[in-house]
Amino acid sequence: MRLILFVLRSIFYLLYHQFAWTYDFVAAAVSLGRWNDWVHGALPYLDGRILEIGYGPGYLQLSLHEKGLSVFGLDESRQMARQASRHLHKKGFPSNLSRGYAQHLPFPKNVFDTVVATFPSEYIFDPQTLREIRRVLVTGGKLVVVPMAWITGRRPLERLAAWLFRVTGEAPGRPGTISTAMRNRLARAGFEVRSELISMRGSQVLVVIATSSPIL
């Protein structure tokens, strides 16, 4: 399992950096064309002044701009920053994008109503990341995370994709709720947590909504 995790992390790093130009193709292939649908599963929960952590190619950024929302982004990948900026500028939208790490958000406190991250790696539940997210959120602001999705279709290719997601740990077990460990980390960081399971085309997506309580 450790070897599998090491290989997966190496692949994800390359997809986000040197091979970022292949990201759309790979994401579409492994999800059987559902990746963007899964990412946009967060959309109904986003409002106010929004920060997206790990914006990748920028498709959720684009959708939020199209809805007329105030949206900003943070990502550490130079290659993804270029792609996202290009997509936004092509549609005539500003690219309010920054490069940096979630553990050290370059924003003042109490400035965002919502922080969102879709399919982030384990950094999103790092205690330092959660402290920083809570710092930049207004009281009662939301952290919305889409941590995983399950392919539930029964066609042979769908069953194969579901098996691959399961054995690699990307979508362990059956569709369900947030894990106890994840819930406890968020609670310790000062968030009240709920989750929803959204049914989509041949799949289900988990959305975690964590509301920031007042900092005492």
- CATH number of the domain within which 112 lies: 3.40.50.150
Domain residues for 139?
A: 2-212
The average pLDDT across 75-96 equals 94
Phi, psi for 107 (deg, rounded to 5): -135, 150
> Which position has the higher pLDDT, 60 or 5?
60
Segment 77-101 mean pLDDT: 94
Cα–Cα distance for residue pair 78/99, rounded to 1 Å: 7
Question: What is the distance, to the nearest Å, from the Cα of residue 100 to the centroid of all Cα atoms in its chain?
Answer: 16
How many angstroms separate the CA atoms of 209 and 216, rounded? 21
**pLDDT interval class at 74 (50, 70, 90):** very high
pLDDT digits (tens, 9 = 90+) for 13-48: 555 566 666 777 677 777 787 889 999 999 999 999
**How confident is the model at residue 16, as a pLDDT?**
59
pTM of the model: 0.88
How many domains does the chain divide into? Answer: 1
Question: What pLDDT, on the 0 to 100 scale, is given for residue 5?
Answer: 45
CA–CA dist 176, 205 (Å, integer): 9
Residue 216 · residue 149 · CB < 8 Å: no
- The predicted pLDDT at position 153 comes to 81
Calpha distance 34→27 (Å, rounded): 8
* CA-to-CA dists, residue 211 to 8, 75, 108, 133, 135, angstroms: 31, 23, 19, 11, 13
Mean pLDDT of 159-185: 74
In the prediction, which pLDDT does 181 show?
Answer: 87
